[in-house]
Amino acid sequence: MHCSTHRLQALTGAIAISAAVAGTSAVAAPMPEAEAGTSRYSATALDAIEVSAAPLPQYQSKRSRTATRTDTPVRDVPQSISVITADALRDQNMLSVADVLRYVPGVGIAQGEGNRDTPVFRGNSSTSDLYIDGIRDDVQYFRDFYNIAQVEVLRGPNAMIFGRGGSGGVLNRVSKMADGDRHRELSLSLGSWSRARGTLDIGEPLSDQGAFRVTAMYENSSSYRDDVGVERHGINPGLSWQLGDSTTVVIGYEHFRDERIADRGIPSFRGRPLATDNSTFFGDPERSPTWAEVAAFGATLDHEFASGLSLRNRLRAADYDKFYQNVYPGAVSADGSTVSISAYSNATERRNLFNQTDLIWTARTGAISHQFLAGLELGRQSSDNFRQTGYFSSLGANVSSVQVPVLAPRATLPIEFRQSASDADNHGVATMAALYLQDQIELSPNWLAVVGLRLDHFEMDFDNQRSNINIRTTDKLWSPRAGLIYKPKESVSIYGNYSLAHVPRAGEQLSSLTPSNQSLQPEKFVNYELGAKWDVSDRLSATAALFRLDRSRVSAPDPSDPARSILVDGQYSEGLELELVGRLSDDWSLQAAYAWQRGEITADLSATVLDGAELAQLPKHSGAIWNRYDLSERWSLAVGMIHRGSIYATLDNRVELPAFTRFDAALYFAASDQLQLQLNIENITDKTYFASAHNNNNITPGSPLAAFVSAHWMF
């Protein structure tokens, strides 16, 4: 740990006690001798005084590269953005995307069939709008934060920066890099339901020009859900070095594997989650394995030219291997005595290759200053997808579901997995090339603007290997962005923003092309936003945003010919988002978020999804607050509250998940400069609630009271 900084002033001189890295000493420098004729006294050098205390947690981050690709103050970004720092991740024991999003206004989480991260951005669920270091990381799996320095969540479309998708927002993870600093940390965590997790972070400068860093993780944990568990491990070594005074190269490689049980929760009954113990597994956990393996290489080159011109090139090559099989619940019978059980499996292999080149330079045109960004992004994604249906062949060759008692909902009959007539066996290659231009303009000290335009050339070559049908599509996607910022003073900004994004017919997972939809235009998302950002002090920031997000060109069955698809203007969402992050005092750290949202379907999309239906997974009111108070130099206490209003599980609005409020707490003890202990308690009132849903009959109960002890050792 670091020592806190103190300054003492004496009449005869000054003694500076400087912040020092643990294990070093602060040295007080002597005052110079008095000049002749001024004084016969001189300052005396005293022994250094070392004061040990835990460093103050930093929940506030004032700058970001994610929203503009340039190092920009958050208050000068005309878009809602939340930055979850490393201290916030640690203090709140955040290990997953779902954990992070509880404290982000306007963003929720869906169940994802128990095998993937599924954020819901302003009413739009997504499994592909996830990035790492600004590059697409779009395969469906559960991500881990062992190698992550911070998480940045943008709300509203930003296709000018990220390209296709980003329909409601994006989540970007920022990696821990070999930064030339010394890192030595081992963390261990034990707790409820046999949680056992360890992480390692070691970094060292190799010379004045080079450095290395390696992060690693292993976890083997059970769950409050019967026979559900996870085992995962990851390692991420990296190097950096200076090539002269102006060039830096950073490389890294990650191997990550996550194995768990695909848990699709409980069914519903008469419009509400079924009344059952929150540990009950419906289906068969032994035949519901899921795993994902990621092997990714990344490299970044930064070069500074003369006259304010800089170049950044990023490369990421990643192989993903994903499989899941699930035996899961369907509808409960009308009398509530039995539940339907079905099964299927799905395998995906994807190979991603992306390269981004950015040129950034500053210039002036008279009294107006500019920061220009010009970029080129190239990408290729090769995907294979293979799905099989589970058949209960002992009951008949084509029996794909069985009824089991609600009071004993395990499926024990033999299951044969083979392809049905509609199961996927696809191979697709998506290629893209994009050009983008952006100008961050300072019109005057009080007026700023951000304008940009991106053109994506997106091609999809899709083979349906079941029907031997090949489909090729080409889309040219224009993505403008325009934001105007007024700053009545340096610490305050008021902005308006317009942005546009598209999702091609191949879908976010590149597997949705059919002969009936191949000629349809891409879906369109238009976002209008008004907001304000205020750095209340050097350590506290407040933001507010009003938005309207319209989704159009939604594919729907043609009422006159259900075999055909037509485009309709599909939905809207609107709302207010508030956030307050930082420190209210030297001892009180705060992270608070609130959102009011509503959204509706604006045209009939199917026989069950009708005009006027409320958007699924969109609570009218949601919010969270985390308060940490440092009682002394060694002891700290934290209390948190999470609230989510009621939501509909799907767009048919037939099943509602009730509102809930959950309370959490934590206790921290700095045992020494090298060792910090913490206790996290989740759901301290043992509240019964429902955390997420995939559909009307796949609903995840929330965790009961749980406690986890962690030790962080800096060596």
**Residue 285 sits in a domain of what CATH number?**
2.40.170.20
* Token pair for 503: 């999702």
| Residue 692 structure tokens | 């997420």
- Integer CA distances (angstroms), 466 to 256, 421, 514, in order: 32, 8, 12
CA dihedral 29, 30, 32, 38 (to 10 degrees): 130
* 682 closest CA partner among 667, 669, 665: 665
Domain stops at, among 15, 30, 52: 52
For residue 45, the model assigns a pLDDT of: 46
A 10 A CB-CB count for 60 gives: 23
**Among residues 625, 661, 656, 627, which one has the least CA distance to residue 644?**
661
Last residue of a domain, one of 28, 52, 76: 52
d(CA 140, CA 116): 5
Tokens of 151: 């998480």
User: What's the CA gap between 461 and 573, in Å, rounded?
Assistant: 33
Question: What is the distance between the alpha carbons of residues 550 and 571, in angstroms, rounded to a whole number?
Answer: 6
Residue 6 is predicted with a pLDDT of 34
Show the tokens assigned to 635: 């002891």
pLDDT mean values, one per 10 residues, the chain (715 residues): 35 31 35 36 43 71 93 96 97 96 96 97 95 97 97 95 92 96 97 97 94 98 98 98 94 98 98 97 98 98 92 98 98 98 98 98 93 98 98 96 98 97 96 98 97 98 94 96 97 97 94 89 96 96 98 84 79 98 96 98 92 96 98 97 98 97 98 97 98 97 98 97
Judge whether 122 and 572 are in contact, CB under 8 Å: no
- What Cα–Cα distance (Å) separates residue 181 from each residue in 57, 61, 174, 201, 202? 19, 20, 17, 12, 10
Nearest to 209 by CA among 179, 238, 178, 241: 241
Four-residue CA torsion sign, 44, 46, 51, 55: positive
Instruction: State the SS3 of 490-525.
Output: CCEEEEEEEEEEEECCCCCCCCCCCCCCCCCCCEEE
Q: Encoding tokens for residue 115?
A: 């095998």
- C-alpha to C-alpha distance for 15 and 30, rounded to whole angstroms: 8
Burial of 614 (0-12, 13-18, 19+ CB in 10 A): middle
Domain membership of residue 535 (yes or no) is yes
Residue 365: domain span: 183-714
User: Number of structural domains, the chain?
Assistant: 2
Dihedrals phi, psi of 89, to nearest 5 degrees: -60, -45
Cα separation of 552 and 531, whole Å? 24
Statement to judge: residues 188 and 39 lie in one domain? no
Q: Which residues contact 221 (CB under 8 A, 6 or more apart)?
A: 193, 194, 195, 196, 197, 229, 230, 231
pTM: 0.91
pLDDT of residue 191: 97
| Structural domain contains residue 93 | no
**DSSP 8-state assignment for residue 399:** -
In a domain, 381, yes or no: yes
Output the furthest CA–CA distance in the chain (Å, rounded): 109
Q: Which among 645, 648, 646, 678 has a CA at the least distance from the CA of 664?
A: 678
Q: Which amino acid is at 288?
A: S
**Where does a domain end: 12, 33, 52?**
52
Asked if the structure places residue 111 within a domain, the reply is no
Virtual torsion, Cα 570, 608, 123, 293, nearest 10 deg: -110
Residues 680 and 710: beta-carbon distance below 8 Å: yes
Question: Residue 44's pLDDT is what?
Answer: 42
d(CA 554, CA 521): 9
Residue 192 φ then ψ, to 5°: -55, 145
| CA–CA distance, 508 with 117 (Å, rounded to integer) | 14
Strand partners, 532: 494, 544
Measure the CA–CA gap between 572 and 598, rounded to whole angstroms: 8
Structure tokens at 380: 């290729």
Please give the sequence-ordered ranges of beta strands (E in DSSP) within 504-620, or none if there are none: 523-537, 540-552, 554-558, 561-568, 571-583, 588-601
Q: Which one, of 560, 458, 460, lies nearest residue 512 by Cα?
A: 460
Residue 109 is assigned to a structural domain of this protein = no
Nearest to 418, CA basis, from 325, 289, 320: 325
For residue 428, the model assigns a pLDDT of 97
Is 360 part of a structural domain of the chain? yes
CB contact set of 537 (below 8 Å; sequence gap of 6+): 582
Q: Say what the pLDDT of residue 55 is.
A: 67
Q: How would you classify the pairing of strands 647-648 and 656-657?
A: antiparallel
Cα angle 259, 125, 456 (rounded to 5 degrees) comes to 100
Residue 137, in any domain of the structure: no
Residue 369 lies in a domain: yes
